[in-house]
């Protein structure tokens, strides 16, 4: 483990200006995904941070959180729970709406996704304003899970998303 540094991963991330709308600089992680050494390096960095920690489930956020979180779940021998955009999960769900810059978004999770009080790690690709992760953490708790950490590959620190995530232990190896 650990022969790819966070700096190496950081330099592989591609900035795409004005996507999906003017003024947003999109952090494109596809150059990491398409390179097996970098993809594995990213997963190893996250897994190393949780070495020895007891994690029953990894909850992953639609859609780019799925990519890193599912690989991490295999490596960590944890179960996988998708947190999906409203209307995608087939069984009974809890839903949580949160404010976006314009309008709102709604995320959902299956009501039986977690055992009561089991330790859950929440994973997404990137922390921006924190609204998505805060809503997801709340969903996990409503469904009976206990959020013991939130991992992002990337944190956009200037957006201060951490402030929305209270006292949850956060880990983000790449910071812009």
Mind telling me the catalytic residues? 64, 101
Task: Candidates 24-32, 66-74, 75-83, 112-120: pick the segment binding ligand AMP (CB under 6 A).
Answer: 24-32
Q: Using DSSP bridges, classify how beta strands 170-171 and 146-155 pair: parallel, antiparallel or unpaired.
A: parallel
Minimum distance of ligand AMP from residue 129's CB (angstroms) = 3
Structure tokens at 60: 């992953």
- Taking the C-alpha atoms of residue 48 and residue 28, their distance in angstroms, rounded to an integer, is 23
Question: Judged by CB under 6 A, which of 1, 14, 24, 99 binds ligand AMP?
Answer: 24
- Could you tell me how far CA 34 lies from the centroid of its own chain? 19
Assess 151 for contact with ligand AMP (CB under 6 A): no
Q: Are 65 and 128 in contact (CB under 8 A)?
A: no
Assess 106 for contact with ligand AMP (CB under 6 A): no
H runs (alpha helix) in the chain = 6-12, 30-33, 36-49, 64-76, 131-142
Minimum distance of ligand AMP from residue 126's CB (angstroms) = 4
Assess 131 for contact with ligand AMP (CB under 6 A): yes
Question: Judged by CB under 6 A, which of 130, 145, 149, 173 binds ligand AMP?
Answer: 130
**Which residues does 169 contact at the CB level (< 8 Å), separation at least 6?**
148, 149, 150
Assess 82 for contact with ligand AMP (CB under 6 A): no
- Site of interaction with ligand AMP (CB under 6 A): 24-27, 61, 64, 124-132, 161
């Amino acid at each position: 483990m650990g022969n790819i540094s966070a700096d190496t991963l950081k330099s592989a991330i591609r900035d795409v200006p004005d996507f999906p709308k003017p003024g947003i600089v999109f952090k494109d992680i596809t150059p990491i995904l398409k390179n097996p050494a970098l993809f594995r390096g990213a997963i190893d960095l996250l897994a190393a941070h949780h070495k020895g920690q007891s994690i029953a489930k990894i909850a992953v956020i639609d859609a780019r959180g799925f990519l890193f979180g599912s690989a991490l779940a295999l490596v960590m021998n944890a179960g996988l729970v998708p947190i999906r955009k409203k209307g995608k999960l087939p069984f009974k769900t809890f839903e949580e709406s949160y404010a976006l810059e314009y309008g709102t978004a709604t995320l959902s999770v299956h009501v039986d996704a977690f055992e009561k009080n089991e330790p859950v790690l929440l994973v997404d690709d990137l922390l921006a304003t924190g609204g998505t992760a805060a809503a997801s953490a709340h969903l996990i708790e409503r469904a009976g899970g206990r959020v013991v950490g939130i991992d992002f590959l990337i944190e956009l620190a200037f957006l201060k998303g951490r402030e929305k995530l209270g006292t949850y232990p956060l880990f983000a190896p790449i910071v812009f």
